[in-house]
Amino acid sequence: MKESNTKYLFFTGKGGVGKTSLACATAVELADQGKNVLLVSTDPASNLKDVLESPVTETIAPIAGIKNLFAININPENSAEAYRNRVTQPLEGVASEQEITKIREDLSGACTTEIASFDEFSRFVSGETEGTKFDVILFDTAPTGHTLRLLELPAAWSSFTEENPDGASCLGPTTALKSGKERYNTVVNRLKNAALTSFYIVARPDKASLKEASRTSTELNELGMQQQLLYINGVFKAMDASDQLAKSIEKLGAEQLNALPENLKSLPLTTFPLLPFNVLGIEKLRSLFSYELQKKISVRKSAQQNNTHPSLNGIETLAEKLCENQQHGLIMTMGKGGVGKTLAASALAVLLAQKGLEVLLTTTDPAAHIQGFMEQLGELPPTLTVERIDPKAETQKYTQKILEHKGKGRSEADKKLILEDLKSPCTEEVAVFHAFSKAISMAKRKFVVMDTAPTGHTLLLLDTAGSYHRDIMRNNLNAGRMRTPYMALQDPELSKIVLVSLPETTPMREAAALQGDLERAGIKPYAWLINQSLSMVPGITDPLLKNRAAAENQVVDTIKEKYAENTFGIPFIAESKLLPAIFQTHEK
């Protein structure tokens, strides 16, 4: 491994790239070297106990089967709930139940959860408590730039947040944080100190993952956190030269590695191979840094290989179901970045339009991937219309409006805090939802396919704020017949949400968390769509790919048993033009 020789190691990257496996493998490697190591996870969908095959709780405990390694799993949801309770407790008996509900929902976004987690794990970096007895502390999941910028603002620590409940919804009153301003200054300064802290940016050899890695690197540099290393996981080498899929996957991966974003080229790089087994347990974690051990385990796994494949209906069957006895409706694809929701939305829109149905495909995708997919087809079906909502423009308009309202009569420091608070992910979702509302109304006349839907938190935020639901109901004389956008999304006859995931544990857990978020807002997803499924590809002969296909069984079975009433799949496609390839696969 490329060692950084710093005390604090942060692992960051998109869901499903393998950062937990690499953080654990690095921790094992350092412990094997005789160092006293602590591994800290703040991942809401943490599978640390599965990867380490040892109990991991919210208190520091030794890991079974290895000396010198300890771990703790800070559950960010629990931290966030405790934080919300500390904020709202003093208001009980003073504020109305409705006002308290609104404050709690304001503090239910991703950024609040992250700040609450940061509040918890800052004690390990500050050097005041448990952190002092370890040589190295690894963090599985690094804080985002938004969190760090917010906590660096002097206004965040002034009485402004306590006096102005309409101010920083993201942060809430700083009195509710366990740690004080001095500790945060110490922590942020240590994160910037290259002699103390290193950031491991984890990616896969694919365009979306490397683009995210590039953005993360830029953001860290802007914050003065320049001690960065690049880990690229899952690099595939074909074992059977006659397997066309294997050859195509290897070629595409090599092309992406040769076209690394400029700012990543200067970082120390370590690549890790795609393995034919799930990295669970100390031996397999050690294998990440040992080719000999990888070979030994692979031979053993091949002998145990189970060739049964889960049966998944394709995306064309999903399209059939969506228009069964229906000429119109709202279809939304949801999922974490990099799972293929834009591809799914594009394919569903084209499949519906090919049936002669009127379809509007709308997206908030800032990278305009939809346009790229449509260009791959050459000619669009005549009944398909494609439009794009510019999230930057919508957010700018919304931010300006809020800033004018909340910043009136405030100091420049206070305005800066409001502006940083408005950089939270939910601000963009709320802004875009206003633009989406027009498209939602069209779903009564035609099929509207939306790439990227608002989360349950955004919908509840709009509802508790009253801006889109109660105000319309209260101010309209025909309220009994009114249907707000929020009500339209709750109508299972009109609206159908398709959750997109990969056939891997982390993306599955992240999609399940999104499902829980939506159900909290009274919306039940219609179906799950599993993208990049090797088990759907017939005739695989490459031993590594056969093992990977067999390993999907457990994930697919879990999705079917625990989360989805309707489950569909898109086979793994190793082509640069994905959309035409989906339809070719369907036609075969």
Asked about 560 being catalytic, the answer comes back as no
How many Å apart are CA 225 and CA 244, to the nearest integer? 43
How many Å apart are CA 547 and CA 567, to the nearest integer? 22
How many Å apart are CA 421 and CA 168, to the nearest integer? 6
Cα-based distances in Å from 334 to 105, 331, 345, 363, 452: 21, 10, 9, 12, 5
Asked about 287 being catalytic, the answer comes back as no
Residue 478: what are its φ and ψ, rounded to 5°? -95, 40
Query: Which entry of 19, 284, 336, 341 is annotated as an active-site residue?
Result: 19
Asked about 516 being catalytic, the answer comes back as no
Asked about 365 being catalytic, the answer comes back as no
How many Å apart are CA 112 and CA 172, to the nearest integer? 8
Residue 233 CA, distance from chain mean position: 17
Q: Check: CB of residue 6 under 8 Å from CB of residue 227.
A: yes
Asked about 21 being catalytic, the answer comes back as yes
CA angle at residue 391 from 387 to 392, to 5 degrees? Answer: 130
Query: 8 - beta bridge partners?
Result: 137, 197
Query: Which entry of 12, 21, 169, 333 is annotated as an active-site residue?
Result: 21
Residue 386: what are its φ and ψ, rounded to 5°? -120, 130
Asked about 129 being catalytic, the answer comes back as no
Asked about 16 being catalytic, the answer comes back as yes
How many Å apart are CA 31 and CA 36, to the nearest integer? 6
Residue 103 CA, distance from chain mean position: 25
Query: Which entry of 13, 15, 16, 569 is annotated as an active-site residue?
Result: 16
CA angle at residue 115 from 114 to 120, to 5 degrees? Answer: 95
Query: Which entry of 13, 15, 18, 335 is annotated as an active-site residue?
Result: 18
How many Å apart are CA 24 and CA 198, to the nearest integer? 16
Residue 35: what are its φ and ψ, rounded to 5°? -85, 150
For residues 201-226, b (16+ Cβ closer than 10 Å) or e, as one string? bbbbbbbbbbbbbbebbebbeebebe
Q: How many helices (H) and strands (E) are present in the chain, helices listed first? A: 25, 16
Q: Which two tokens stand for residue 163?
A: 């006096």
Active site residues: 16, 18-21, 43, 506
